[in-house]
Amino acid sequence: MQLKPLQDRVVVQRLEEETKTAGGIIIPDNHTEKPSQGKIVAVGTGYRLTDGSVRNLDVKVGDTVLFGKYSGTSVKVDGKEVLIMKEEEILGILQ
Amino acid sequence: MQLKPLQDRVVVQRLEEETKTAGGIIIPDNHTEKPSQGKIVAVGTGYRLTDGSVRNLDVKVGDTVLFGKYSGTSVKVDGKEVLIMKEEEILGILQ
Amino acid sequence: MQLKPLQDRVVVQRLEEETKTAGGIIIPDNHTEKPSQGKIVAVGTGYRLTDGSVRNLDVKVGDTVLFGKYSGTSVKVDGKEVLIMKEEEILGILQ
Amino acid sequence: MQLKPLQDRVVVQRLEEETKTAGGIIIPDNHTEKPSQGKIVAVGTGYRLTDGSVRNLDVKVGDTVLFGKYSGTSVKVDGKEVLIMKEEEILGILQ
Amino acid sequence: MQLKPLQDRVVVQRLEEETKTAGGIIIPDNHTEKPSQGKIVAVGTGYRLTDGSVRNLDVKVGDTVLFGKYSGTSVKVDGKEVLIMKEEEILGILQ
Amino acid sequence: MQLKPLQDRVVVQRLEEETKTAGGIIIPDNHTEKPSQGKIVAVGTGYRLTDGSVRNLDVKVGDTVLFGKYSGTSVKVDGKEVLIMKEEEILGILQ
Amino acid sequence: MQLKPLQDRVVVQRLEEETKTAGGIIIPDNHTEKPSQGKIVAVGTGYRLTDGSVRNLDVKVGDTVLFGKYSGTSVKVDGKEVLIMKEEEILGILQ
């Protein structure tokens, strides 16, 4: 069973803090919401423009992304917990 | 008697927690609203664009969808309780 | 005397709870606003689009519709109480 | 002296409760703002669209209209009290 | 020295209550903000449309206008107190 | 070192109250925010329109402008304190 | 490892107060948020326009920019702390 997000939503698998690669993201203490890392596992069909056409998302399956710690909604599909969020909530891609 | 939703609304029949298929969605405890599963039983004619044309919805009758626990308005048609909600409130399709 | 609603407004005659047809809508207890049934008795000329053209409404005179219990403004025309509301407030059509 | 409203505004002369015609509007008790009747005495040049063109108003001088009890701003021109309001605030036309 | 308002702003010289002409505006007591009279002494170059073009204002220098009592910002230019406000804040023109 | 504002922002050098020319702006007591005078020392490249094109600003370097007392953000460049604000915050140009 | 910001976001490396060049920005006491200096280290692909096309950002890698003290989200990439923010939050470029 697979979860296909609608439109500009993506499904993200959160990366565990301990699976962080050397030189990876370490979240410093600051006043703003601390971002988390995750891997894109599914993307929607894209943004629906006002003229009816569709704009592809900038992220693709497999991308490692940064997003706000409280972004998205957590669900379990086939026993694996994932997050559904809007692409807008993704801060950047790690390359 | 049938309930035909307007424009970008859909009619959803909530799936009972106990009719959940093996490997289906199990809602973990977290800080956000827990999503529910349901089956699309009717869809509106689509989004009305600002130029007057119509954009079809992404979901279709028969789709199993995820939506926020408190999404939609509950009504009974011919003794069967259903939910009316906007497609925007649907998080994703289970395939 | 007749009440002609402007633009995207409609005039709805609320259907009494006791005139409900067999198998009709029974409003279950839930946390959201309970919808009511009514019959469309007049419709506006349509939505005014930003380019100046007009888009017809989706409901027509004679439609039985569902709408939020507190939708619209109640007025009496020739001794008959009706509701004026925007089409946007109508949840769906019963067919 | 005449008051010419700008753009999508209209000037309305409120009809006194006692000049109401037989079979006219009687405002029932309800939770929403009770509408009033009035006669359009002047209309603006129309809505300014985003492309710079102008869209005529739907009401015209002489129309008997329904509007919210607290709609508009009351002014006296040549000793006669009138209301200035946006056409959007008008619920419907009595015919 | 002259004050040239930007875009859709106008400069208005408030008319004193005692310079009101016979049959002029007398503000009745009501629950809304009481409008004031003034004379347009300068107008901006017009509304900037989203396509980059400019739409002229509906008021012109010399017009006697009605506006909300608390509309605009009061400044003194060459010892004469005037108001700067957006054309949108003007209710109508007295003719 | 020079501060180049982005898009529709401008850099304004506030004019001291005591450097006001004869017949200049004297701020009367009133309920609204008192405007200040300043000289435009840098302008952005212009408004970005939704179609991607750029619209020039209405103010230019050297203009003496009026703006709200609390408009903009104060910074020092090469020891000289200036304000960065959006053109929208400028009320008018003194000529 | 590199952090690529999405769309209209940029990655900024905050410049330390003590690395400020002679004649640089000194933040005066005032009622608004004090701006900070930083260097652009990565830019997104640009603004997504409503017609689906992309508009380049105005800032480029290497620019020294001013931004609000609390703008952006702080993350560490390869041990170096940077800020992710929207270009809109950048006040100006120092040249």
pLDDT in tens, E38-59: 999 999 999 887 777 888 899 9
Q: How confident is the model at residue D4 (pLDDT cuts 50, 70, 90)?
A: very high
Residue C54: other Cβ atoms inside 10 A = 16
Chain B partners of C92 at a C-beta cutoff of 8 Å?
Answer: 3-6, 9, 11, 42, 44, 84
pLDDT of residue C43: 97
Whether the predicted pLDDT of E84 surpasses 90: yes
CB contact under 8 A, B95 and A5: no
How many angstroms separate the CA of residue G49 from the nearest CA in chain A? 9
Per residue in F39-77, pLDDT (tens digit) is 999 999 998 877 778 888 999 999 999 998 888 998 888
Whether the predicted pLDDT of F19 surpasses 60: no
Q: How large is the C-alpha radius of gyration of chain F?
A: 14
pLDDT of residue F39: 97
How many angstroms separate the CA of residue G54 from the nearest CA in chain A? 11
d(CA A41, CA E7): 49
Q: Do residues G2 and A91 make contact, with C-beta atoms less than 8 angstroms apart?
A: no
Per residue in A22-60, pLDDT (tens digit) is 555 554 444 445 678 999 999 999 988 777 788 889 999
Nearest CA in chain B to C29: B74
Quote the percentage of chain F above a pLDDT of 70. Answer: 81
Identify the CA nearest to C1 among candidates B66, A69, F71, D92.
D92
The residues of chain C scoring below 70 in pLDDT are 17-34
- Within 13 Å and on the Cβ side, how many CA atoms surround E38? 30
CB contact under 8 A, B79 and C33: no
Residue that wins the pLDDT comparison between F34 and D76: D76
Please tell me which of the candidates G25, G33, G59 has its beta carbon nearest to residue F77: G25
Chain F partners of G92 at a C-beta cutoff of 8 Å?
Answer: 3-6, 9, 11, 84
Tokens 């015919």, located at residue: D95
Q: What are phi and psi of A62, to 5 degrees?
A: 105, -20
* Residue pairs spanning E and F at CB distance below 8 A: 72
Query: Could you give the ipTM of this predicted complex?
Result: 0.73
Identify the CA nearest to F91 among candidates F41, F42, F32.
F32
How many angstroms separate the CA of residue E89 from the nearest CA in chain D? 10
CATH C-level class of E9-16+33-94: mainly beta
pLDDT of residue E24: 56
d(CA G7, CA A92): 9
Q: Which CATH architecture has domain A9-18+33-94?
A: Roll (2.30)
| B9-17+33-94 CATH pick, 3.20.20.140, 3.40.50.880, 3.90.230.10, 2.30.33.40 | 2.30.33.40
**Alpha-carbon distances of G36 from C64, F68, G70, rounded to whole Å:** 61, 23, 9
pLDDT of residue E29: 44
pLDDT of residue D24: 56
Q: Do residues B38 and B13 make contact, with C-beta atoms less than 8 angstroms apart?
A: yes
Please tell me which of the candidates E31, E49, E53 has its beta carbon nearest to residue D70: E31
CB contact under 8 A, F30 and E74: yes
d(CA A7, CA A12): 15
Nearest CA in chain B to C94: B3
pLDDT of residue D17: 54
D48 DSSP assignment: E
Q: Do chains D and B touch (3 or more CB pairs under 8 A)?
A: no
Q: How confident is the model at residue E23 (pLDDT cuts 50, 70, 90)?
A: low
How many angstroms separate the CA of residue A42 from the nearest CA in chain B? 10
Residue type for D46, please? G
Tokens of C52: 């100046």
Q: Which CATH architecture has domain F1-15+33-71+83-95?
A: Roll (2.30)
Q: What is the mean pLDDT of chain E?
A: 82
Q: CB within 8 A of G18, min separation 6: which ones?
A: none
* Contact residues, chain D to chain C, C-beta under 8 Å: 21, 23-28, 30-33, 35, 47, 49-51, 53, 55, 58-59, 66, 68, 87, 90-95
Nearest CA in chain A to B94: A3
| G9-16+32-94 CATH pick, 2.30.33.40, 1.10.3470.10, 3.90.25.10, 2.60.40.10 | 2.30.33.40
Mean pLDDT along residues G2-11: 94
CB contact under 8 A, F92 and E74: no
CB contact under 8 A, E66 and D45: no
Please tell me which of the candidates A2, A6, A74 has its beta carbon nearest to residue B28: A74
Nearest CA in chain G to F52: G55
CB contact under 8 A, D76 and E35: no
Q: Do residues C25 and D25 make contact, with C-beta atoms less than 8 angstroms apart?
A: no
pLDDT of residue G16: 72
Burial of A89 (0-12, 13-18, 19+ CB in 10 A): middle
Q: Which of B73, B86, B88, B89 should one mutate to test binding to chain C, selecting the residue with the greatest count of C CBs within 10 A?
A: B73
Please tell me which of the candidates D32, D87, D94 has its beta carbon nearest to residue C1: D94
Q: Do residues F51 and F60 make contact, with C-beta atoms less than 8 angstroms apart?
A: no
pLDDT of residue G43: 97
Q: What is the mean pLDDT of chain A?
A: 82
Distance in Å from the first CA to the final CA of chain A: 29
pLDDT of residue G19: 41
Q: Do chains A and B touch (3 or more CB pairs under 8 A)?
A: yes
Residue type for F81, please? E
CB contact under 8 A, F92 and E76: no
Chain B partners of A84 at a C-beta cutoff of 8 Å?
Answer: 35, 66, 91-92
Distance in Å from the first CA to the final CA of chain G: 29
CB contact under 8 A, D23 and C78: yes
What is the topology classification, in CATH, of domain D9-20+33-94? 10 Kd Chaperonin, Protein Cpn10; Chain O (2.30.33)
Across-strand partners of B44? none
Point out the least confidently predicted range of A46-55, D7-16, F7-16, F64-73. Answer: A46-55
CB contact under 8 A, C51 and D49: yes
pLDDT of residue G34: 63
How many angstroms separate the CA of residue A32 from the nearest CA in chain G? 6
Quote the percentage of chain B above a pLDDT of 70. Answer: 81
Tokens 């040049």, located at residue: D45
Identify the CA nearest to E60 among candidates G1, F58, D4.
D4
d(CA G11, CA G73): 10
Chain D partners of E70 at a C-beta cutoff of 8 Å?
Answer: none
The separation between CA A11 and the C-alpha centre of its own chain, rounded to angstroms, equals: 6
What is the topology classification, in CATH, of domain C9-14+33-94? 10 Kd Chaperonin, Protein Cpn10; Chain O (2.30.33)
Q: How confident is the model at residue F20 (pLDDT cuts 50, 70, 90)?
A: very low
Q: Do residues E82 and E13 make contact, with C-beta atoms less than 8 angstroms apart?
A: yes
Tokens of F68: 């709200």
How many angstroms separate the CA of residue C25 from the nearest CA in chain D? 23
Q: CB within 8 A of G40, min separation 6: which ones?
A: G10, G11, G12, G59, G60, G61, G62, G63, G65
Q: CB within 8 A of F5, min separation 6: which ones?
A: F11, F42, F43, F44, F84, G91, G92
CB contact under 8 A, A75 and B90: no
Per residue in D41-61, pLDDT (tens digit) is 999 999 887 777 888 899 999
Q: Do chains D and A touch (3 or more CB pairs under 8 A)?
A: no
Nearest CA in chain B to A81: B28
Residue that wins the pLDDT comparison between G73 and B50: G73
CB contact under 8 A, B3 and C27: no
Ramachandran quadrant class, B24 (left: phi over 0; alpha: psi -120 to 50; beta: rest)? beta
pLDDT of residue D35: 79
Per residue in B24-38, pLDDT (tens digit) is 555 444 444 567 899
Distance in Å from the first CA to the final CA of chain D: 29
d(CA G67, CA G83): 11
Chain A partners of B95 at a C-beta cutoff of 8 Å?
Answer: 1-4
pLDDT of residue E34: 63
Q: Do residues E49 and D51 make contact, with C-beta atoms less than 8 angstroms apart?
A: yes
pLDDT of residue D16: 72
pLDDT of residue G21: 47
Which residue spans within chain G are E strands per DSSP? Answer: 3-5, 9-14, 35-43, 47-48, 54-55, 64-68, 73-77, 80-86, 90-94
CB contact under 8 A, E74 and F23: no
Per residue in G13-69, pLDDT (tens digit) is 999 754 444 555 554 444 445 678 999 999 999 988 777 788 889 999 999 999 988
* Contact residues, chain G to chain A, C-beta under 8 Å: 1-7, 9, 11, 45, 48, 50-52, 70, 72-79, 81, 84
CB contact under 8 A, G52 and A55: yes
Mean pLDDT along residues D23-31: 49
pLDDT of residue C76: 82
Chain B partners of A78 at a C-beta cutoff of 8 Å?
Answer: 23
pLDDT of residue C18: 42
Q: Do chains B and C touch (3 or more CB pairs under 8 A)?
A: yes
Using DSSP, state whether E24 is helix, strand or coil: coil
Tokens 């009595």, located at residue: D94
